[in-house]
Amino acid sequence: IINEPTAAALAYGLDKQDKDLTIAVYDLGGGTFDISILELGEGVFEVKSTNGDTHLGGDDFDHILIDYLAETFQTQEGLDLRKDPMALQRLKDAAEKAKIELSST
Q: What is the dihedral of CA 13, 7, 4, 26, to 10 degrees?
A: -20
State residue 105's pLDDT score: 63
> Alpha helix locations (H) across the chain?
4-13, 58-77, 85-103
- Asked if residue 64 and residue 99 are part of one domain, the reply reads yes
- Asked if residue 66 and residue 35 are part of one domain, the reply reads no
- Asked if residue 43 and residue 25 are part of one domain, the reply reads yes
CATH number of the CATH domain containing 34: 3.30.420.40
SS3 40: strand
Q: Final residue of a domain: which of 13, 28, 53?
A: 53
CB-based contact 52:26 (threshold 8 Å): no
- Asked if residue 45 and residue 8 are part of one domain, the reply reads yes
Task: Write out pLDDT tens, residues 58-95.
Answer: 888 889 999 999 999 999 999 999 999 999 999 999 98
Tell me the whole-structure pTM to 2 decimals.
Answer: 0.62
Query: Phi and psi (nearest 5°) for 12?
Result: -60, -40
CATH number of the CATH domain containing 72: 3.90.640.10
State residue 62's pLDDT score: 87
Structural domain total, the chain: 2
